[in-house]
Amino acid sequence: MAGGRAGGRLTAALRRVPVGNVARLDPGTMEMVQVDGTDILLVNLDGRIHAVQGICSHQYFELDKGFLTGDSITCALHLSRFDLETGEPLDPPAELPLAVYPVTVQDDGAIVLELPEGPIPVNE
């Protein structure tokens, strides 16, 4: 149901945006992509693809310059660490979570994000 109500919640219309192929994103690696001028970080954790906003929510810094530890990403600027599943900050100084975007991998390996129509939400 696009743009209506589902389960009592207002839902936004979604668009499916292909952003690459899983063949070029080895387990334990990450890649920054841009959609409509917004940086989105793709991360392959043991074969499971995650997509989060590509810029730290604490201070402007590209997260692809950070490092992966377990199921989290650490920003190299001030060492804020974020859970890749929920976007929640695990270590200060960040207080705002990262925006997390639904992602699917199609049978042909295409990585597809489900993003709202209009501006892509980010936390800053």
Domain residue ranges in the chain: 23-115
Whether the model pTM is above 0.85: yes
Instruction: Find, among 37, 9, 6, 15, the residue nearest to 117 by Cα.
Output: 15
Give the C-alpha separation, 54 to 62, whole Å: 6
pLDDT at 9 over 50: no
Please provide the DSSP assignment of 70-112 as one string: TTEEE-TTT--EEETTT--EEETT--SPPPB--EEE-TT-EEE
Strand 89-91 to 81-83 pairing: antiparallel
The 10s digit of each residue's pLDDT in 27-85 is: 999 999 999 999 999 999 999 999 999 999 999 999 999 999 999 999 999 999 999 99
Q: Pick the range with the lowest mean pLDDT from 11-20, 74-83, 114-123.
A: 11-20
Average pLDDT estimate for 8-35: 88
Backbone angle region of 36, left / alpha / beta, with phi > 0 → left and psi within -120 to 50 → alpha: left
Q: Are the CB atoms for 20 and 30 separated by under 8 Å?
A: no
CATH code for the structural domain at 23-115: 2.102.10.10
pLDDT at 95 over 50: yes
